[in-house]
Structure 1
Amino acid sequence: MTNRTPHTGSYYAATRQDTNDRPILKESIEADVCIVGGGFTGMSSALHLAEAGFSVVVLEAARIGFGASGRNGGQLVNSYSRDIDTIEKNYGKDLGKTLGDMAFEGGNIIRERIKKYNINCDYKPGGIFAAFNKKQMHALTEQKALWERYGHTGLELLDKQAIAEQIQSDVYIGGMLDHTGGHIHPLNLLLGEAKAFESLGGVIYEDSKVVHVERSEKPVVKTEHGQVIANYVLMAGNAYMAGLIPELAAKSMPCGTQIVTTEVLDESLAKSLIPNQYCVEDCNYKLDYYRVTADNRLLYGGGVTYGGGDPASIQAFLRGRMEKTFPQLKGIKFDYAWGGDFLLTMSRLPQFGRLTPNIYYAQGYSGHGVTTTHLAGRLIAEAMKGHAERFDAFGQLKHFPFPGGRLFRVPYTAIGATYYGLRDKLGL
């Protein structure tokens, strides 16, 4: 019997509803579309394509949701890691409007999926951006005006008294509540989408690492023990693609982020922390994010390790940050601690495009992956159906290698992050 790759030791893996193993690819098969990567990008695309009648095969090197899609903070954060005003400034009003009109679509797709396929993933609406100082509060005021210009309503500015009513912490001076944000159990969402995909005839292989993609008129995707011959291929491995496509690896960098989850809290204590069950992220460059889970634990994440990987002790790394936010939890027991990598781009904007006319890629969400991956899936399906205008709009974004090449990109980026972290602390 072949040993199967285990999930990471996360709260999500421990509470996932689907514990089934998918088979390992050990033969040569054919499909309309072969998708490399069983995370949100791959599964969102697979489900959209299956709904459109394509025969689709998904190849996952480990387990469905093994990477960032099954390890993240579970927050539905609208727009992109660099907002629409940055796109307008660098690329003009026309492209800004095109991408701005799509900036809030991903969250709606997730809600549609939950409803259509009856996915139980602990969805709760509402997300707060929390400000430590006047500069951050001013930025939130501008962000509200920007998003409302693109028709995104449901935004509410919070003063010091109002945010104190929403978060039982005295570290913030205000914030903004996005009523169309929210949070989910990301691994259960992904597994629910996988089940929906399989119900439409889609096929998923796990422990089927891709070792080579033959870029021919009819691409061949080769694994360690089999292959898929397809009309179209989608590369959707993000930070876990391990240099399979060198030209993409040069323009992106894996970054680690870490999360802890407390023991189950007394229900009254859990509800007192965030009374309306919203999720929260602060406005610092290296931000913290947190929420209360469906079973009354505090899930708290933060920090960035450039180049990927985890600090020596995730619990020690995050305990001080959590206890500064919630002193009332000082000394609380952590039941779970884990890390995972997301993929950062130089511009902090996602990379969508084609390697050849029939080999697509989508990656580099730079910390805004939960919603943008779901948008990506819809756009990829549109493009493969012959309507590529929206997908190609993202192709107009320019992406450059990190300075210093692969050897020096980590220290150069870390120096920049240290600078911005100091600005956060000083309120500059």
Structure 2
Amino acid sequence: MSIISHTGSYYTASANDKQQRSKLNEHIKADICVVGSGFTGLSSALHLAEKGYKVVILEGSRIGFGASGRNGGQLVNSYSRDMDFIEKHYGKHVGTEMGKMAFEGANIIRRLVHDYQINCDLKPGGIFAACNNKQLDEMASKQQLWAQHGHTNTELLSASSIQKHIGTDRYVGGLLDNAGGHIHPLNLALGEAAAFEKLGGVIYEDSKVTDIVHGKKPVIKTESGSVTANFVVVAGNAYLEGLLPKQQQKSMPCGTQIITTEVLPKDVQQQLLPTDVCVEDCNYLLDYFRLSADGRLIYGGGTTYGARDPEQIESIILPKMLKTFPALKKVKIDYAWTGNFLLTLMRLPQFGRINDNVYYAQGYSGHGVTSTHLAGKVISDAIAGQAERFDVFAGLPQHPFPGGRVFRIPYITMGAWYYAMRDKLGI
């Protein structure tokens, strides 16, 4: 068996399960074939297996190889665009229906962790940290908006009260979401995979899908095998690589970068994050950070359009970390990595069906940990005949990026520069 490695991240080094599953080398049948074993695929497969379906997952690399196993590990509620934006652009009904689902993803994760005893260092609490008064006003508006949609477990923080949670004077306040939290994302993915397998599901790794032959019973082909199924769930997100070309035209892979320090002394951990919450700031090109279970600071941010080597990542992220926590100047960085997430033009997820039996979900635009788990539940319900919630997402317009594939990167690069200037100017 060939050995396909995860990226050289802290998560990989501390993964609970390092076994590699077999490659698909035969022609098999299943009720449902899921393409991709990130959070969308795993949530879909696990919810479908709980309903009694025979489900097979085909993974081109390793379980959680993409963004699901590389991200900041934060449970951030709602979507990358909030309900006021959704209602303004798509109407009150859509805003209301999406608002009913906006806080479900984190609860799905907690349910799976509890039911299947997944060891993924789940901790409560997340803060949106405001860098200026304009952002703090926006957080006050977010609190009111979320309360209108039934989520009241938040607390607006002043400049002094936020320092009870974050040991820096960089922020003028923020919003504490007690229903947020953080996890070891790769161990969550591996735990969900193990739960799926306990229910009779089968996962094939190193089994990249090369083609989907559409029809009454789609055939999903790999280099050395195939799956004939009644339904397909395509969950490749930023790693589709030509499988659904029309859908790829409507999204843009972007990279984020993360560094992880050496294990910090207990007193330093207490100084940095006294209540052990996770944090993301309110900039357009945001920073995010938290403590790992063994006491490292995990710090990420920035946007890239392709992989970078660890030294480049450290040179980009380290100054950001030191701006927030100057006392860490002499701390050693043990890990640095990057990974792709998928951005859509409207920064809302894209759900859809092809020929009524091929489902897809993609483009969570930076809010993927919770939204992917919601997507899996919604897709599983749709396949089982309850499609109302899926259709709310599927009804959202899916716009291609201007200029097609050739101009997507320069277009987004210009946008990133524009938003970086807005962050610097505080506007």
1:91 Cα deviation from its structure 2 partner: 0.8
Query: What is the match of residue 287 of structure 2?
Result: 288
Distance 2:354 2:300 in 1: 35
Query: What is the match of residue 308 of structure 1?
Result: 306
SS at match of 2:164: helix
Residue type matched to 1:235 in 2? V
Alignment of 1:298-377 (within 5 A): 298-305=297-304, 307-310=305-308, 313-377=312-376
1:221 has 2:217 as partner: no
Native 8 Å contact 1:62 1:207 kept in 2: yes
Distance 2:355 2:4 in 1: 32
1:399 Cα deviation from its structure 2 partner: 1.1
Residue type matched to 2:237 in 1? N
SS at match of 1:32: strand
Distance 1:357 1:212 in 2: 18
Native 8 Å contact 2:128 2:175 kept in 1: yes
Q: Deviations over 1:310-351 (max 9, x none)?
A: 376111111100000000101311100000000000010000
Query: Unpaired segments of 5 or more residues in structure 1?
Result: none
Distance 1:403 1:330 in 2: 42
Query: What is the match of residue 231 of structure 2?
Result: 232
Query: What is the match of residue 38 of structure 2?
Result: 39
1:170 Cα deviation from its structure 2 partner: 1.1
1:165 has 2:164 as partner: yes
Query: What is the match of residue 93 of structure 2?
Result: 94
1:154 Cα deviation from its structure 2 partner: 1.0
Distance 1:48 1:208 in 2: 22
SS at match of 1:399: coil
Distance 2:315 2:415 in 1: 24
Q: Which ranges of 4 or more aligned residues in structure 1 deviate by more than 6 Å? A: none
1:309 Cα deviation from its structure 2 partner: 2.5
Q: Deviations over 1:192-238 (max 9, x none)?
A: 11111000000000000000000111000000100000000010000
Query: What is the match of residue 141 of structure 1?
Result: 140
Distance 2:82 2:307 in 1: 27
Native 8 Å contact 1:81 1:366 kept in 2: yes
SS at match of 2:203: strand
Q: Deviations over 1:145-191 (max 9, x none)?
A: 00000000111000000011210011111101000000000011111
Distance 2:254 2:306 in 1: 4
TM superposition score normalised by structure 2: 0.99
Measured on the aligned residues, the alpha-carbon RMSD in Å equals 0.8
SS at match of 1:375: helix
Residue type matched to 2:320 in 1? R
SS at match of 2:94: helix
1:308 Cα deviation from its structure 2 partner: 3.3
Alignment of 1:5-16 (within 5 A): 5-16=4-15
1:174 has 2:173 as partner: yes
TM superposition score normalised by structure 1: 0.99
Distance 2:355 2:325 in 1: 51
Native 8 Å contact 2:164 2:275 kept in 1: no
